[in-house]
Amino acid sequence: MDDVSGIFRLDGRTALVVGAGSGIGAAAAEGLSRFGAAVTCADAALDGATATAERITAFGGSAAPLRLDLLDAHAVRAAAADQPAPDVLVTTPAVNVRKAIVDYTDAELDRVVDLNLKGVFRLCQAIGARMAEAGRGSMIGFSSIRSQTTEPGQGAYAATKAATIMLFKTLAAELGPAGVRANTIAPGVVETPLTAPIKADPAWYEAYARKSILRRWARPDELVGAVVFLASDASSYVTGTTIFVDGGWTAADGRFDPRL
């Protein structure tokens, strides 16, 4: 057997992390850099992307910020055209409107679908084409436990997260012959800006903590291992799959009564 001691290393490779300004995206960008990748930290908020890039360069990593709004189709296509195909793509942005399906407005539905599905679709379309041309690449999307289990108020969000898994399975099927892999990561409850309203409610926070087998929320840095695995040669024969990093949430049944 060949020496496998360096199969997680990313030296000499480039990564584009979209959503790198905060939360899981920021943790993923820093983690990929610590394993040797040169990272482009992209985010709709340039100040957040810049702050992440500065943290990476402070510990000796290679990083550059980029303002990229997935709601801007032209900007997404331009970003893909303006730089060489990255070896790794990580996309994390998502939004949620917690509301019963029967009460949803068209504007609220558009808000969730436009970012979580259409924005991610366009990004993968543009970057996937470049990766296929280069004959290599690992595409990593972020789904959620809500792709498998739901609760009142999660209709649109859950639908887009289930769609994300099927989008990446299809990318794997279409781009695999060109040397491109595509996989998703499905977190449980993670302490990020997206979940801040839930974290601020002690009853909700405790209910969510009790639902996981580990009886706590995840930190963003606890998703880094899965990202590095899927980005590296350690997962060279892994494509079209989903890794659940959810503290056992989807493994065990539980009961609680959330309010909208």
Q: Is the dihedral of CA 138, 141, 145, 146 positive or negative?
A: negative
205 is catalytic: no
Q: Name which of 63, 75, 68, 6 is nearest 31 in CA terms.
A: 63
Q: Which residues pair with 245 in a beta bridge?
A: 187
Q: Name which of 201, 174, 182 is nearest 143 in CA terms.
A: 182
Q: What is the DSSP string of 186-227?
A: EE-SB-SGGGHHHHTSHHHHHHHHHHSTTSSPBPGGGGHHHH
Rounded distance between C-alpha atoms, residue 165 and residue 130, angstroms: 21
Marked catalytic residue, from 104, 157, 205, 208: 157
Q: Which residues pair with 181 in a beta bridge?
A: 138
Q: Which two tokens stand for residue 118?
A: 């259409």
Rounded distance between C-alpha atoms, residue 39 and residue 33, angstroms: 6
Where in the sequence numbering do the catalytic residues fall?
A: 157
